Amino acid sequence: MVLDCFRIGDRPEVPITVTDIVKHMSIEVNASIDTSFSGYLLLANPLYPKINSVELDESYWRTYATLNGIVRTKVAKARIYFIRL
């Protein structure tokens, strides 16, 4: 497989489909490719309710320190499919 290189300042992304495993509702998003990937996909607030049927207990939620302060994120299980590479 051959992938094109990115220019400095570009945000490399890959198109994916995220599917709620209970409601079977899907959304398509461009996921940022990050070399320090932690294994989680962050979604914008308006998208999260579409795929959050299997939201995990609060003990699984993530906390991040950002330039704007502490951000707490909810966590839900979902299926992710690559649209194309």
Quickly tell me which residue has 């649209």 as its tokens: 83
What pLDDT score does 85 carry? Answer: 59
Task: Return all residues near 6 (Cβ < 8 A) that are at least 6 apart.
Answer: 12
Mean pLDDT per segment of 10 residues, for the chain of length 85 residues?
67 90 95 75 92 96 91 94 78
pTM recorded for the entire structure:
0.76
What pLDDT score does 2 carry? Answer: 58
Rounded Cα distance, 11 and 67, in Å: 20
